[in-house]
Structure 1
Amino acid sequence: MASSANAATGPGDPDSPPLFLDLAALEEAARQQLPAAVHDYYAGGAGAEITLGEATAAWRGWRLRPRVLRGDAPPRLATTLLGEPVATPVGVAPWGFQAMAHPDGERATARGAAEVGALMTVSTSANTALADVAAVTPAGPRWFQLYQLHSREYTDDLARRAGAAGYTALVLTVDVPVLGRRLRDLRNGFDLPAGLPMANHPGAGGAPVSMRAAESPAWTSADIRRLADLSGLPVVVKGVLRGDDAVRCVQAGAAAVWVSTHGGRQADPVVASADALPEVVDAVAGEVDVYVDGGIRSGSDVLVALALGARAVFVARPTTWGLAAGGADGVARVLGGLTGELSHTMVVCGLDDVRSVPRDTVVRAGRPAG
């Protein structure tokens, strides 16, 4: 990672573990390298971007309640996601068109995630075909995010191919019945740059397809079990913000639910992920895992999410800036930096295992702890 793009500072040796992660500096380094319309595509949200603006602040609306006299042993950071071991509860959320950020695109992200033992979720809207991403790190944990394409037969075939390529779960993104009104993209007339394919989308005669021609028809609850059966993979439902919807997902056969606002890129304003998470966790009552993304920018944010009942968190924009500024190494530094911050915060809070963070570790800001 070039020195101008460093988001983390180590003691002299550029390859030493980072002392801190400066995501604002990393985004600025990425912004300087990206065309303005591309940066806006990655950075922007829908509507007035209220959801986008409130995402991180919502995590900061909670306060940690440290325990004392617990020692200072390194906490256990490894966990399992749908039974699959990972080294960190911080994973890569799906995001498309990664070759706009770095020539190696999804391949570089896969290498960076594998370096720190993090799970990567590969998008249907990747510039690299799903099998080619899988081939980069055959042993790396990975899930495949699935949109419903206009051809149901092709969508079903894509799900089967994900299973055959070694992906271990399908992630159905259910919050995009139509694309959100992303005003930055409309102002910029944004479309996928020429020469970058949407490698997992069907095009006429194999030709590249415009992102505007790739809007996804809506899923139904019946698709959850159907896709699990035909792919042989557990299905995670992403884009859940309500407890009643979470229960319906579980009843329909979901193996996990994923609380997400789609990065603030769909309806605006909507409830922040940090505020929706407790309701969803309570609704599923431990029957399935709950995951969350949206505005997580520090190890303390991760710890709040774990305390509120998430099994793991996922990040997209931070890995975008890491990829743009430093390729695979930049991705690894972001994921490793967040994990390192989480470890440090757990020690000072007297916690020893990411799999068992008590709910009473956090309290709403301004509210008595009793």
Structure 2
Amino acid sequence: METRISNAKIVTPTSIIESSLAVAEGKIQAIEPNGAGVDFDGDYLIPGLVDIHTDNLEKHFYPRPGVDWDAQSAAIIHDGQCVSVGITTVFDSLSIGSWSDNEARYLENILKLVEGLEAADNEKQLRGSHLLHWRCETSSPVLEDLMSKLVPHRLTHLLSVMDHTPGQRQYPDIEKHKARWKAHLGLTDEEVDARVANAQEKQAKYTPMNRSVVDKVAKERKLALASHDDQLPEHIHDALAINATIAEFPTTLEAARLAKDNNMTVVMGAPNLMRGGSYSGNASAADIAEEGLLDAFASDYVPRSMIEAAFRLSKAPFSWSLPEAIATVTSNPAESVGLSDRGRIEEGKRADFVRVKVKDGRPLVRGVWVSGERVG
């Protein structure tokens, strides 16, 4: 099927061109002078967004505590929400070995969720491209066994190492974390202390071995590897030791700077920028952007945050060029995980693109195409 888009402000990797886009056989054929075609009426045409970390699928599987939803239906709903905000490639982030009380992260539910996602994909019920990002909790005593069951899935494309032991990384203030456990879980001081001690014991016993396991699996399967919530220089050095190439949500400027100096892709949560800071009190995405350390955004837990964050970077106080800003949600995340076929409006690339109108300072998605076919 051939498609021509006309009268568009096409955001290329280096400039904005008022022109037409020719698409055929699912790929971009050429950027041409304006002519007949689907009239964009001067709206922007940008590449489809590539989100390498979203927890959004879990929300639709367990919309309320104790209430599970049909997994295939959850995948379809989640996909629709992502496409509606311009995300055409979705990395569904699922936790392996998490000791979270989130029911969606129990093994039996992860298996259901993956089965539902695959069924929806096989039956062509999904409009975007979905891949799996396995988040590996390195303090888990059963991580290696769980990885053997989950990582071989055909949609697996990214691994990350994470460590949610209180007192470091995402939770540096251990007393604040203890207070959260008491409030949310109804635990006594003694129970909280025992839980912290147990977590720290597991970290000391299992983390070094598990990091090596994740490194080995990533190499064997040729998967990109990210390090999650790095706080200290030694965390970055540990990440480099296992060949991680992505620093995902560094919690300090120091860690982000060292990661950047070592050619790691620095990825921040887009909600962090839009909310004006980290909900955990860690490094601000705005500060990391202003320091020139930011490479990419992920949606984390709000799909729409990606497109808003990209356009926010193009305004004061950041004032990035629009092509540079759009790259943080398109080509940069795509390249960080080895997806060289998308993320740019260039001849030969996959025809994933989005029509965007900016109204009252807000980017509004008015159309979405995947492999040249309109899907939203």
TM-score (norm 1): 0.48
TM-score (norm 2): 0.47
Higher relative contact order (CA 8 A, sep 6+): 1
Query: Whose helix proportion is higher, 1 or 2?
Result: 1
